[in-house]
Chain A
Amino acid sequence: MSDVTLDMRLGKPWKKPHFIKNPVTRWGLIIGALVYISFATGSLEVNWSRVSEGLVRGWNFIAAFATPDFVSRGTDIRDGLIESVIMTITSTIVGIAISIPIGLGAARNIAPLPVYLVCRGIIALSRALNEIIVAILMVAIFGFGPLAGFITLSFATIGFLAKLMAEDIEDMSRVQAEAIKSTGATWTQWINYGVQPQVMPRLVGLSMYRLDINFRESAVLGLVGAGGIGATLNTAFDRYEFDTAAAILLIIIATVMVLEYLSGVIRKKVQ
């Protein structure tokens, strides 16, 4: 069966076979990568005097974490935080509510083709547009404030949840769904008994995860005027009030940690 004999191998050097077999492609890729990296790093301009000046500030900022100032801009921080939380909660709830029909529509195994294409289109659009860019447009259209942030986050939630939900539905067990269909159930009954129980646990888990993401995102929307704690943070940086900025960042980190912990607990309970 094998035409390799021991004598052919003995005394010959051995080399690990290359991951990319074709030497032209291999060297082409290696050289291409090296050329790219050297050009890319070459095009970076570093203003060293500005950096050395900045290092002091950087150190001050790190030191500020030891003495975060929650008080002197206390009301700003509190209002910003409440606004962020409000945006997070509303946009997650609305996002989930809209994601469910779109997610159902984007699953090829239960939706007819035209509905499928429309829903997939909405998902693709929502995923392609960065939250910040959507927020800029929303602020331009709806004016400054949390409403723009709320709409942005809801829109982003749709792309995330509906996509994962649709994939989940497409992966579900056909047998269970068919069993329900064979009882003569209507379409809604079929969804309720055949599809929902299979998809629900993961949907709850993903929703919790999205709540966490929405909070993190809500912290930056303020930079473009769409409400939340980002505006306060931006002001703090502009005025070089690093101790206030440190306080805000610590609050964000702590909140994210709590949310992550909670979502872990809930996900364990559901699954």
Chain B
Amino acid sequence: MSTVAIDKAGPSRKVKYGSMSRDRAWALRWSYFFLVLFAIFFLTPPVYMLITSLKSSAEISAATNPWWVFHPTLSNYVELLTSNQFLRFFWNSSIVAIVVVIITMLISIPAAFALARMKFWGSATLATGVFLTYLIPDSLLFIPLFKMLAVIQDLTGITLLNRWYVLLFIYPTLTVPFCTWIMIGYFASIPKELDEAALIDGASWLQTLTRIFIPVALPGLIAATIFAFTVSWAQFLYPLVFTTSVDQLVLPVGITTTLIKGDVFNWGQIMTGALLGAAPPLIIYAFLMDYYIAGLTAGATKG
């Protein structure tokens, strides 16, 4: 009886929060503090780029407040988007990124499936090896790679150096190991019984891969695709080394080599070019993120 009385008296008493909710409140405050700090830190450069891209060269070099646009102009955008050179860079970058993504997926999906599911001699070592190759920095690789391509060119007479399509061979050395590694993780998380069920249902390995694994591991596939695209789109060192003619350049190298003339920096156009160049990955992230997160939380086998 006494407990009932206390319970009834409950609402009239002053509500005290337990230590749990106090801890939680503090944790939230700290989270927000650091999140805001983080947001400022990472959003300041793009905001500054946007501001600068809307200024004329005269205003940029004038001693006014760099954080404000006094005479906004779209001239930088108009100039770049009507320049054949810039559009050429954009086209080169796009075709390279798209083809590299396709090549990467065609190699790393079957590779990851084999490494995750088909137990064969040395498969575990091979899986680790695949990842280790990713750890070798490109700054270490570009000279040997250049040498290799030069030798191939000498031997076969096929021109590879200073052609945009050379990047289709080079970029997968960066994307395939990492994407394979991601996909191994995703495929390994699919319960073994699922492919055994498919096997009993009469599916071949290829059918198991295409009809069960790829649909089930779609979030992982999307993550790998985003990664491969971003790497190909943003890669700087390799295109700088392997391509030199203006019509063969991709966006990151093109912007820096054509818009910086000697010690003259065309800041307005550099910022505009960088912003425009950042747009495709942003759009892809925006579209696929929802799908990616939805995929992450869906479809376990039991519950």
Asked if A and B bind, the verdict is no
Chain A residues proximal to chain B, CB less than 8 Å: none
Chain B residues proximal to chain A, CB less than 8 Å: none
